């Protein structure tokens, strides 16, 4: 097999998050050499839980990170949907049926475990170099390559490659360089907490995602970390457009969005368990006019930040990285057209997921009496037919043209 040599096959990836590391692993499978740079001093175990549906676990397994991640990820049996009064609405079956149907499992994982699995796999590969404490600031695209300007403290330094992938997340510097506007605050905040599993009653230690729907707010709970911990995410309408992933919030701030007049005491008891929560203001944006220029393109949240109501933020970043590597592998020296083909292919799918997530935002947060009609419709449809509606997401596989 041909091995990557020198800078003629070097791709620069800005961002060692979920999308950047996945892209690096996908690119080395195609015999590229990859330099991943991240502005962070250390890649810490940041964040809370993520859901990884079969379209995504299939790729993680193909990239060689599946075995490492499977030690801590939890294979989910069902999504159990309930009302704010804690009445059962519908169970969406996953487990071995869904694994057979989609050819890959549905996992819940801690973001830190996912990033660690990708990082360990990447660090074990001789053609991936990871440089931390290096912020990508700008780039110049030439006919034969790209020069990437980076900063470490006061020092400016360049990196050279055949292409630059902007995987620098929701506040992407490289997206700014394209002249595209920043994401918009969605008027929603997600508060996250991870609890030891033993803090909850046994029904929440099973391999299920629990979802409670209520007017203007909802709560999600699922096991992570080999079932030793449970991840809670409480999402509500909120006007405070803060930045960052991890501002601490008090329990009372979260409970105020789940008032005792509307929410069952059972749900409020769960919300009262964590000593503190981490605030995550939600941003998304309409599809970008342009994802790239010359030998630069974007992926993941840099290109399409999305609301988490289809649980596909990490998934779309991972799919992007995989598809990008396929296009570059077939490009020969025609790097720019390959990047534009990648963008043309990923744009419609990621825009559809963004729209679907926004639709779920409305559907999840209906108030009475619309919520009553929604619950009846979901019950009538049943879990299996509901799952059918997600085929277009979960059954996705790469094809060169679509």
Ligand X SMILES: Cc1cc2nc3c(=O)[nH]c(=O)nc-3n(C[C@H](O)[C@H](O)[C@H](O)COP(=O)(O)OP(=O)(O)OC[C@H]3O[C@@H](n4cnc5c(N)ncnc54)[C@H](O)[C@@H]3O)c2cc1C
Task: Please give the Cα distance from 85 to 393 (Å, whole number).
Answer: 30
Q: Is 161 in the site for ligand X (CB under 6 A)?
A: no
Q: Specify the 3-state DSSP secondary structure of 90.
A: strand
Q: Is 168 in the site for ligand X (CB under 6 A)?
A: yes
Kindly tell me which residue out of 173, 189, 208, 354 binds ligand X, with binding defined by CB under 6 A: 173
Task: Please give the Cα distance from 134 to 153 (Å, whole number).
Answer: 8
Q: Are 40 and 133 in contact (CB under 8 A)?
A: yes
Which of 106, 204, 222, 364 is the catalytic position? Answer: 222
User: Which residues, listed in sequence order, are joined to residue 50 by a DSSP beta bridge?
Assistant: 109
Q: Is 308 in the site for ligand X (CB under 6 A)?
A: yes
Look-up of token digits 């701030």? 253
Q: Smaller CB distance to ligand X: residue 174 or 378?
A: 174
Task: Please give the Cα distance from 227 to 223 (Å, whole number).
Answer: 5
Strand ranges for 168-228 from DSSP E = 184-196, 208-214, 217-224
Q: Is 169 in the site for ligand X (CB under 6 A)?
A: yes
Q: Is 145 in the site for ligand X (CB under 6 A)?
A: no
Task: For residue 246, give the nearest of 69, 44, 108 by alpha carbon.
Answer: 44
For residue 222, indicate whether it is catalytic: yes
Q: Specify the 3-state DSSP secondary structure of 374.
A: helix
Q: Is 235 in the site for ligand X (CB under 6 A)?
A: no
Task: For residue 365, give the nearest of 354, 378, 353, 374 by alpha carbon.
Answer: 374
Q: Is 165 in the site for ligand X (CB under 6 A)?
A: no
**Site string (181-210) toward ligand X, x via CB under 6 A:** -----------x------------------
Please, where are the H alpha helices in 216-290?
251-255, 265-271
**Site string (342-381) toward ligand X, x via CB under 6 A:** ----------------------------------------
Q: Is 20 in the site for ligand X (CB under 6 A)?
A: yes
Q: Is 292 in the site for ligand X (CB under 6 A)?
A: no
Q: Which residues are catalytic?
A: 222
Residues of this chain that interact with ligand X (CB under 6 A) are 14-20, 37-40, 46-48, 50, 111, 135-136, 167-169, 173, 192, 245, 300-302, 308, 313-314, 317
């Amino acid at each position: 097999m041909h091995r990557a040599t020198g800078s003629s096959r070097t791709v620069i990836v800005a961002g060692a998050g979920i999308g950047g590391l996945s892209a690096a692993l996908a690119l080395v499978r195609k015999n590229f050499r990859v330099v991943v740079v991240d502005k962070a001093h250390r890649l810490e175990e940041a964040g809370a839980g993520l859901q990884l549906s079969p379209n995504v676990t299939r790729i993680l397994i193909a990239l060689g990170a599946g075995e490492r991640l499977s030690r801590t990820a939890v294979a989910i049996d069902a999504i159990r949907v309930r009302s704010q009064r804690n009445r059962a609405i519908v169970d969406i079956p996953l487990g071995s049926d869904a694994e057979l149907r989609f050819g890959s499992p549905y996992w819940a994982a801690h973001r830190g475990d996912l990033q660690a699995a990708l990082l360990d796999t990447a660090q074990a590969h001789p053609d991936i170099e990871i440089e931390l404490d290096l912020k990508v600031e700008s780039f110049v695209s030439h006919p034969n390559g790209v020069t990437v300007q980076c900063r470490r403290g006061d020092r400016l330094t360049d990196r050279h490659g055949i292409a630059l992938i902007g995987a620098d997340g929701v506040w992407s510097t490289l997206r700014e360089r394209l002249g595209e506007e920043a994401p918009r605050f969605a008027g929603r905040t997600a508060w996250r907490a991870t609890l030891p599993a033993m803090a909850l009653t046994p029904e929440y230690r099973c391999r299920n995602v629990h979802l409670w729907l209520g007017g203007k707010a909802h709560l999600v709970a699922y096991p992570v970390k080999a079932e030793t911990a449970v991840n809670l995410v409480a999402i509500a309408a909120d006007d405070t457009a803060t930045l960052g992933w991890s501002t601490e919030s008090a329990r009372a701030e979260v409970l105020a969005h789940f008032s005792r007049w509307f929410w069952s005491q059972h749900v409020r008891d769960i919300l009262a368990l964590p000593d503190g929560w981490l605030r995550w203001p939600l941003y998304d944006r309409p599809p970008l006019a342009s994802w790239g220029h010359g030998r630069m393109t974007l992926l993941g949240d840099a290109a399409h930040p999305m609301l988490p109501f289809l649980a596909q933020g990490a998934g779309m970043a991972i799919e992007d990285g995989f598809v990008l590597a396929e296009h570059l592998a077939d490009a020969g020296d025609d790097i720019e057209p390959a990047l534009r083909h990648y963008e043309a292919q990923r744009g419609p799918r990621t825009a559809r997921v963004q729209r679907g997530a926004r639709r779920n935002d409305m559907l999840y947060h209906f108030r009475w009496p619309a919520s009553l009609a929604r619950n009846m419709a979901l019950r009538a449809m049943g879990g299996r037919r509901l799952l059918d509606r997600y085929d277009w997401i979960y059954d996705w596989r790469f094809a060169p043209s679509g």
